[in-house]
């Protein structure tokens, strides 16, 4: 994965470096073993700042197809300018992730990633997104999420459990950076790995 554009805000480099360490740790805990060329879907990806460390954390597997999707056109434009995938296909689309099943020609995904999921903001919308996310995953595929808040993470995990997803690992990030805009909010505060 090649990063063609620097991150746009101060502090992001450190957050992303720490996220890379967190992903390696949680994949070890979950005893995942990724191999071959993977199809990866990044839902509600925003600027998709994590694209590079996500790809690195899946090694020795490589990403052969990567799709990032978000409602925000400006973020999608920035993501598309930043990331390149030599030897693979990379695409960023503005759109509603709850409608992803309507896109023709997509592969079944090996991994769905959701950073800073926003479940409690619009639970009904996110219920729809999770249905679609699981429908696009291969049997045995993985869904990985991170969360800003404790309760929001609990709600997301409960929702995944009601869908029958197996939870392989769930951990609090020891080096998560506190954010000043809300109490109890920090960057990638929680991470969980589920298996379909």
Q: Which of 62, 72, 93, 195 is the binder for ligand SAM (CB under 6 A)?
A: 72
Residue 129 within binding range of ligand SAM, rule CB under 6 A: yes
Nearest distance from residue 182's CB to ligand SAM, in Å?
12
User: Which among 6-14, 16-24, 64-72, 153-161 is the span making contact with ligand SAM, rule CB under 6 A?
Assistant: 64-72
Rounded to 5°, the CA angle 26-30-33 comes to 100
In terms of Cα–Cα distance, which of 126, 176, 130, 124 is closest to 149? 176
Residue 137 within binding range of ligand SAM, rule CB under 6 A: no
Fill in the per-residue mask, 145 to 164: x = in contact with ligand SAM (CB under 6 A), - = not in contact: --------------------
Q: How far is CA 156 from CA 5, 58, 62, 122, 180, in A?
A: 32, 23, 28, 12, 23
Residue 76 within binding range of ligand SAM, rule CB under 6 A: no
What stretches of the chain adopt beta strand conformation (E)? 2-3, 37-43, 62-70, 83-84, 89-94, 109-114, 137-147, 166-172, 190-195
CB 54 within 8 A of CB 40: yes
Q: Which of 62, 116, 163, 185 is the binder for ligand SAM (CB under 6 A)?
A: 116
Where do the H-state alpha helices sit in 145-195? 150-162
Instruction: Calculate the CA dihedral of residues 83, 89, 94, 98 and round it to 10 degrees.
Output: -120
Q: Which of 71, 103, 135, 158 is the binder for ligand SAM (CB under 6 A)?
A: 71
Alpha carbons 85 and 56: distance in angstroms, whole number: 12
Closer to ligand SAM by Cβ: residue 39 or 129:
129
Neighbours of 122 (CB within 10 A): 12
Q: Which of 15, 70, 110, 152 is the binder for ligand SAM (CB under 6 A)?
A: 70
Residue 46 within binding range of ligand SAM, rule CB under 6 A: yes
User: Which among 7-15, 27-35, 111-119, 158-166 is the span making contact with ligand SAM, rule CB under 6 A?
Assistant: 111-119
Residues lying near ligand SAM in the complex (CB under 6 A) are found at 44-46, 69-72, 75, 96-98, 115-116, 118, 125, 129
């Amino acid at each position: 994965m090649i990063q063609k554009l620097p991150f746009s805000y101060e502090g992001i480099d450190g957050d992303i470096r720490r996220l890379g360490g967190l992903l390696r740790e949680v994949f070890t805990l979950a005893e995942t073993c990724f191999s071959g060329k993977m199809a990866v879907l990044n839902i509600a990806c925003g600027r998709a700042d994590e694209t590079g460390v996500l790809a690195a954390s899946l090694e020795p597997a490589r990403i052969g197809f990567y799709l990032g999707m978000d409602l925000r056109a400006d973020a999608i434009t920035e993501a598309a300018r930043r990331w390149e995938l030599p030897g693979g296909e990379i695409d960023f689309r503005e759109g509603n992730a709850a409608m992803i099943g309507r896109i023709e020609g997509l592969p079944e995904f090996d991994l769905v990633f959701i950073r800073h999921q926003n479940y409690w903001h619009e639970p009904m919308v996110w219920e729809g997104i999770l249905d679609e996310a699981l429908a696009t995953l291969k049997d045995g595929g993985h869904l990985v999420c991170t969360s800003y808040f404790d309760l929001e993470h609990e709600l997301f995990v409960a929702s995944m459990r009601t869908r029958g997803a197996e939870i392989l690992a769930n951990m609090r990030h020891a080096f998560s950076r506190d954010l000043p805009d809300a109490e109890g909010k920090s960057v990638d505060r929680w991470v969980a790995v589920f298996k379909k």
